[in-house]
Structure 1
Amino acid sequence: MPLSRRDFTRIAAMTALTSGVTVIGAQSPALAANTAYVFGYFKETPNQSGDSYALHLAVSTDGLNWRPLNQNNPVATPTAGTLGLRDPFILRKQDGTFVVLATDLRGRIFTENNQYLHVWDSANLTSLTNYRRIRMHGLNTHTWAPTAFWVPARNQYAIVYSANNGQDVFMVNYTSDFRTVSANQAYFSPGYPVLDADIVADGSTFYMYYKNLNDGLLYGARSSSGEPNTYSNYTSGLRQGNAIEAPLLIRNNTGSGWRLWGDSFSPVNNDYYAWSTTNVGANSWTVLGQRDFTPPLNAKHGSIVGITAAEYDALVARWGLPNWVRLKSYNYPDRYVRHADNLGRIDAYPFDPHEDQLWRMVAGLADSAGVSFESVNYPGRYLRHSNYAIRLDTNDGTATFRGDATFTRVAGLADASWSSFRSYNVPDRYLRHSGYVLRIDPIGTAATERQDATFRVS
């Protein structure tokens, strides 16, 4: 079995009920409609300095651009088993509350087998209670990447996970309370090795997306019952990047659209890929570019679920939004503004130290109507221009420094929904990148110049 398969975030989701559509795990129609999303994940960085094998949460109003909660620190950590988790999955149960399941595995060593899953209960994800582990089988194999959903015909929940019974397959156990489970059985064993199931229902059709380990592609299969071994493939293989795994199928809170997500295979490569469609039953997916979405910082293999406006507000009130921002390049959307050797530049994410891309966007040092960018990992140092080059320097308290470190935020020159930053004391020049290095320059009408000077604040 490949040993690197669990490296990246699995965004998996059971969205709540939207108008006219029954979704497995959905809340009662009497409950408020979902208007936002919450994302549960664990964290890894290339050199392991930012690894965290615990539950983290982020929120989004559009399901594309995410803000970590609790300053991207854990909201729950396992206290039994390996004392770590991967692949957390959040399910909204039939009563409107939540259950969180996760792989019992800490770190990047995938030779350790484990028969258990971590489990928490939660009313609204502002606290995680009743921590426990549940034993899923007695086999000498792993129990990876759980997904769960309501099966109306059984009046129970199904818990599906990746395991091996001589070949990589999906196993299933059924439960009513996420404390006791039925005997395990094979759920999907197509004759070739598979990994990372995500299962969602649209009306009476169950859709499952998974990775075929033989060719490395993602496939969609469907079933009219959701019962074990009743799925048939209906899509061709999908992949973006050099390698992909951990597919996630999620229905948008509004409209009829769907998104399919996948994670890259290596922790040093691009993190996420995504597609969209208006018809989940058709083999027709449109690639979403990285300009379209911003994952939580260092997030790995997790899950998304729809939440109400009240639940969103409660999560923000309980855990808090980050006191820092990141600046994403418009025309190189895999790159973020960072400092390196006291110079400002844009580099492809992920990188370490990952804190080099975190900025406290404070009131302008020279004019409170403007903004200044203070380094999170070097407090007291700010981005400023010197001979038009952008540097990270210590505030020396002079008027010159304050002016050099102050920018006026305006609508993005290439896209008004993004942002551009005009120099305060050289107001005919804007912050831009050139050869990946930051500087301030006059910006004309050329599309490339305007794109170089446009950033997303996230």
Structure 2
Amino acid sequence: MGAYLFVHFREKTTPDGEQVYFGLSGDGFKWEAVNGGKPVLTSTLGECGVRDHVIFRKKDGGFIILATDLSLANNFATKYHSDWKEVNHNGSPYLSKWESEDLVHWSEQELIKLVDDSFGCVWAPEIIADEENGDYMVHWSSFNTENDPDYTAIYYAKTKDFKTFSKPEILCSKKNTGIIDSNIVYADGYYYRFIKSDFEPNHIMLHRSTSLIGEYERMPAFDEEIEKEELGQFEAPTCFKLSDGRWCVMLDYYGCDKDKQGYIPFVTEDISTGRFVRSDAEFLFPYGFKHGTVMSITDDEYERIKGAFGV
């Protein structure tokens, strides 16, 4: 696989920003707008907006997109009274889902519910294959009144078909602070887990473990690099392997005006060290991609998407 697909949304004040956008790249750094920078898929269910997308290649060769069912453009000032706490506690418990066999033709949008009424908004779904058990794990961040009504934690559910899901369980939590935006990749026997911490520290953290669901150790070299940056301004990590063997984690920089927000790449020569170095000079975006996921694709898939939607 030599190309990449980045599924994301755009930070705008109008509802068209909170939809499904595609970006393409031949190397993981130089990105092209797809479909003229307009949505490829549009939400017509739930809040009629989607954020925090994940795209995933299933073992049968098909693809799935999950996203947070949320439209701040439509509802932040009205339904949520311009209050983030209301969004977190009373936002949608559903995820939006699309499926495809070829990345061009997509199923009708479907709303799926993984949680009961003790949960608040279901934020930022991510998917990883469980290598030990042969199924998939969907993980996300939420408030839960039964576990901790004050702080978000990371929860997970298991599935084999993305139709039925196990009962949600806590994947990880942090004392006296919320954690959000988990992203997990598997490399050389280890699971590497990126998480955004709200306080102490107020930045992205990296942990690793030999077990997907188990004890993780924190990687201090990642802290050393991220602490060189302005703290509290990055979220939504998405990590992927580059074609030259290096690993890249894209961090979404939100500490500025909307039209300047977007992803910044950090690259490591060896993921086992945890040392990701900021690498702005190697990347280019046509506009600010917001909270999404990078997935490796084949050259044929790249050409198929390009042919169907244009770049």
- For normalisation by structure 2, the TM-score amounts to 0.86
**1:366-445 equivalence runs, <5 A:** none
Q: Larger C-alpha radius of gyration, 1 or 2?
A: 1
User: Cα deviation per residue 1:231-274 (whole Å; 9 max; x = unaligned)?
Assistant: 2212352253451111222111x232001121123351553222
Q: Which residue number corresponds to residue 263 of structure 1?
A: 252
* Mapped partners of 2:282, 2:96: distance in 1: 33
* Correspondent of 2:165 among 143, 157, 181: 181
Unpaired segments ≥5 residues, structure 2: 77-83
Shift in CA distance, 90/148, structure 1 to aligned 2, threshold 3 Å:
same
Structure 2 partner of 1:91: 56
Contact 2:236 2:292 in 1 (8 A): no
CA distance in 1, matches of 2:15, 2:133: 42
1:250–1:233: structure 2 CA closer, same or farther, 3 Å change rule? same
Name the residue aligned to 1:360. none
Match of 2:284 in 1: 294
Task: Give the AA of the match of 2:262.
Answer: D
Pairing of 1:37-186 with structure 2 (within 5 A): 37-45=4-12, 48=13, 51-107=16-72, 109=76, 110=84, 111-112=86-87, 113-138=91-116, 139-165=118-144, 166=148, 167-186=151-170
1:299, distance to aligned residue in structure 2 (A): 2.1
Structure 2 CA distance for partners of 1:312 and 1:141, relative to 1, 3 Å: same
> How far apart in 2 are the matches of 1:50 and 1:155?
38
How many residues align? The count is 283
SS in 2 for 1:89: strand
Q: 1:300 to 1:71 in 2, by over 3 A?
A: same
The 2-side partners of 1:65 and 1:50 are apart by 27
Indicate the percent of aligned positions where both proteins have the same amino acid: 26
Query: Greater helix share, 1 or 2?
Result: 2
- What is aligned with 1:280? 271
- Runs (4+) off by over 4 Å: none
Partner of 2:294: 304
Superposition deviation, residue 131 in structure 1: 2.4
1:316 and 1:297 mapped to 2: Cα distance?
18
How far apart are 1:68 and its partner, in Å? Answer: 1.1
The whole-number CA distance in structure 1 between the counterparts of 2:61 and 2:139 is 21
Give the secondary-structure state (helix, strand or coil) at the position aligned to 1:71: helix
Equivalent runs, 1:348-367 vs 2, <5 Å: none
Q: Relative to 1, partners in 2 of residues 1:277 and 1:90: Cα closer, same or farther, differing over 3 Å? A: same
Structure with more contact order per residue of length (Cα contacts < 8 Å, sep ≥ 6): 2
Alpha-carbon deviations, 1:128-163, whole Å to 9, x = none?
Answer: 114211111112411111110111222210000011
